Amino acid sequence: MKKAEIKLNVTLDETNVPESIQWTSSDGQSAEELPAKAMFLALWDAQYKNTLRIDLWTKDMPYDEMKRFFYETLQTMADSFIRASGGDPMAEKVIADLRDYCAHYADKMEILEQQN
């Protein structure tokens, strides 16, 4: 059985606000820590049937990048749910609604215009 390790290091200021986030993965191409400005981590607690979450972003994370981060996270959550649903037709309908919302969010936050 193969195992992999993901390691996160967060440096906090005196008020516990993240100054930097560094991460490594044992499956990665490099052993060096890589920087990140934000992260969402969600774990399912099967015993209590709820989600455990950690949402962090560094104090120098630009607002425009945060908007894009939310947009891309919503899109990838839709991708993950489609894979996890195994082709459930109801899931595909709900994901279509989520993708419509993502397009609406991107329009309102002017995300796609910034990309061009």
Residue 18 contacts residue 11 (beta carbons within 8 Å):
yes
Q: Find all residues with CB under 8 Å of 73, minimum gap 6, and list them.
A: 40
CA distance 21 to 16: 13
Write down the pTM of the prediction: 0.86
Per-residue pLDDT of the chain (116 residues; tens, 9 = 90+): 999 999 999 999 999 999 999 999 998 777 799 999 999 999 999 999 999 999 999 999 999 999 999 999 999 999 999 999 998 999 999 999 999 999 999 999 999 865 55
